[in-house]
């Protein structure tokens, strides 16, 4: 193989710019992981018998939110695709490492701010911590562990919105018509399909336009992204 062709040959470690974390965010994460790294490393050596409970949580699918023509992602793929850096940099590490010796009971949630009945509630649940999943928004809006809910009179500042306001809007609705500054959001890759697999068209509000579109009626979604 001549030198020119060899230089342009595909290499398995080559990644597009959209897959790379911007350097300022990466450096901040490194500092965070330096502080919490001991906990991650120690948890890897705990026996499997010390894992927290993670199965048996009662659940049921709401037929009203079933998306026509959309196949449900298998549970094993969903639970092994996480950005949870306290428990590992690879997306499949938190599923294993977070459950080793981490005390998840008791767990409480504090309700405060502009509400009629502020309180602190003990929550008996399986597979702590309690997380927030908003399916029509991008993943960075899903809180990884929920300990406090505070009702405010004005729109609060959020971590990613402050770090990079041109990239991470407050509303963070899945919208194929509003591109990320560094890549298009018109298409997406299905979890579990592999990095080099084909993509499919991104659905408005992640497919939940019928259910939640009215919440944003009249809003300029390019400005309020």
CATH of the domain at 58: 3.90.420.10
184 domain-assigned: yes
Give me the pLDDT at residue 9, please.
46
Q: 108: which residues sit within 8 A by CB, 6+ positions away?
A: 120, 121, 122, 123, 147
Number of independent structural domains in the chain: 1
The pTM score is: 0.67
Q: Return the DSSP state at 3.
A: H
For residue 129, the enclosing domain spans 3-216
224 domain-assigned: no
Flag residues of the chain having pLDDT under 70.
1-59, 126-128
Give me the pLDDT at residue 187, please.
94
196 domain-assigned: yes
Query: Which contacts of 187-193 are long-range, i.e. CB under 8 A and separated by 24 or more positions?
Result: 190/73, 191/73, 191/77, 191/78, 191/81, 192/73, 192/74, 192/77, 192/81
Give me the pLDDT at residue 208, please.
92
* Distance of alpha carbon 55 from alpha carbon 76, whole angstroms: 12
225 domain-assigned: no
* Distance of alpha carbon 189 from alpha carbon 195, whole angstroms: 8
223 domain-assigned: no
Percent residues over pLDDT 90 in the chain: 30
Q: Which helix (H) or strand (E) holds 122?
A: strand 119-123
């Amino acid at each position: 193989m001549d030198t020119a062709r060899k230089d342009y040959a595909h290499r398995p470690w080559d990644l597009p710019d959209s897959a790379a974390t911007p350097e300022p965010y990466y450096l901040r994460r490194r500092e965070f992981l330096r502080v919490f790294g001991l906990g991650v490393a120690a948890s890897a050596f705990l026996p499997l018998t010390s894992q927290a409970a993670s199965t048996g949580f009662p659940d049921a699918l709401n037929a009203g939110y079933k998306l026509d023509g959309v196949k449900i992602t298998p549970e094993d793929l969903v639970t092994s695709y996480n950005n949870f850096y306290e428990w590992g940099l690879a997306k499949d590490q938190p599923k294993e490492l977070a459950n080793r010796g981490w005390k998840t009971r008791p767990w409480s949630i504090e309700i405060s701010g502009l509400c009629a009945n502020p309180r602190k509630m003990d929550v008996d649940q399986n597979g702590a911590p309690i997380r927030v999943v908003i399916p029509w928004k991008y993943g960075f809006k899903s809180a990884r562990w929920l300990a406090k809910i505070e009702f405010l009179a004005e729109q609060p500042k959020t971590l990613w919105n402050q770090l990079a306001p041109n990239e991470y809007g407050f509303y963070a609705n899945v919208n194929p018509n509003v591109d990320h500054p560094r890549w298009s959001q018109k298409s997406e890759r299905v979890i579990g399909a592999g990095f080099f697999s084909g993509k499919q068209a991104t659905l408005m509000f992640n497919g939940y336009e019928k259910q939640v579109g009215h919440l944003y009626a009249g809003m300029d979604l390019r400005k309020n992204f």
